[in-house]
Amino acid sequence: MKATVAAVFAIVLFASSLAADKPKTVDEAVQVLKTKWLQPKDRDWILRNTKDEVWARLYMGFGTGVRNQFGLWGDNQPLHDSCGTKDPEGCSSVILNRLWESGNQCAGMLTRHWYTSLTANFSLLRRFMSASKDFTS
């Protein structure tokens, strides 16, 4: 009897710990993927590819893991609510897209910074060239 009670307790404890590990929001899901599932080389690959390419490559195998492990087939209502859909596949798509966006926000800021910097430098160069023409004429 004690062994049966101990086994049931262990199963309940194990099941509750699994439920506790499931992310409740899209941002939590992305954080779990970035810190526990993906290696640095994987995050780098995501950063270097388009959103469509990342989604296409990750949706079937990796996305299936997301749907299974994060409880998207029914028992993780808070995550469904955060995704804005009850559809497990739609929810995993939201998570994969946010994963790409989270990695590329910094790249987008750097790109904007470089663009702004280049624009300023070209503007300065144009003024210099214009002044040089006036000087040599």
pTM for the predicted model, two decimal places: 0.65
Kindly list the domain boundaries of the chain, sorted by start residue.
Answer: 24-136
DSSP symbols for 69-85: HTTTTTT-HHHHHHHT-
Cβ-in-10-Å burial (0-12, 13-18, 19+) of 81 comes to middle
Residue-wise pLDDT tens digits, 25-44: 999 999 999 999 999 999 98
What does the pLDDT look like over 103-129, one tens digit per residue?
876 555 555 555 566 566 666 666 766
Q: How far apart are the first and last CA of the chain?
A: 104
Q: What share of the chain has pLDDT > 70, as a percent?
A: 63
Residue pair 38/96 in contact by the 8 Å Cβ criterion: no
